[in-house]
Amino acid sequence: MKSRRLLLFVFWLAVAGALAAVTTLPLAADDRDDHRDHGKDWARECSLRTLHGRYGIFAQGTVLATSAHPALPFVVSGIFTYDGDGSVAGTYNQSVGGGASTGVTASGTYQVNPDCTYSAVLTLPDNSIVHRAGTITGEGILQEIHIVYTDSSSVASGTLKRIRERPCSLRTLKGPYALYGQGTILPPNVPAIFRATAGLLTFDGEGNFAGEATGNTNGATALGTFIGTYAVTPECGVTAEIHVTGGPNTGLVLHEAGSITGDKDLKELHDIFTTPGWVFTDTLKKQR
Average confidence (pLDDT) per 10 residues, the chain, 288 residues: 45 43 44 42 79 98 96 98 98 97 97 98 96 97 98 97 98 98 95 97 98 98 98 98 97 98 96 98 94
Residues 6+ away with beta carbon under 8 Å from 279: 60, 73, 74, 75, 95, 96, 97, 98, 183, 184, 185, 186, 273
The per-residue pLDDT for 44 is: 76
Side-chain half-sphere exposure of 288, counting CA atoms within 13 A: 3
The per-residue pLDDT for 288 is: 78
The per-residue pLDDT for 43 is: 55
Nearest in space to 77 (alpha carbons), one of 239, 252, 253, 267 = 239
Q: Which residue(s) pair with 116 in the sheet?
A: none
